[in-house]
Amino acid sequence: QYRARASALRKLGYISNPSTIRFIGPCLYETADPYPYVPGAMDKVAAPRTASYAMEALRKMITDAPVTNDFTVWQQWWEKNKDKYP
């Protein structure tokens, strides 16, 4: 599911269609590590969180995008602006 979401968000950012913002905004809350560390495992997979892909896509579509990578700031932006993108 993570790979599909990440791929979809990258594509939505590429096409940069504002009508998709309402689908991207809720992804700002997906801040969990997609591949959490498993005790005893030899390696840790480093992958961006889904919210990072959502921020990247939104930056390409909106003019008042926050200039930070802070998930909380972006979530606050979404709560304030989500009614603009029904």
Give the pLDDT score at 44. 79
What's residue 40's pLDDT? 86
Reading the chain (86 residues) residue by residue, the pLDDT tens digits are 899 999 999 999 999 999 999 999 999 999 999 988 888 888 878 899 999 999 999 999 999 899 999 999 999 999 999 999 87
d(CA 14, CA 84): 21
Alpha carbon distance 39, 4 (integer Å): 26
Specify the pTM. Answer: 0.89
| The predicted structure's pLDDT at residue 61 | 94
- d(CA 26, CA 35) in angstroms, rounded, equals 20
The pLDDT value given to residue 32: 94
**What per-residue confidence (pLDDT) applies to 45?**
82
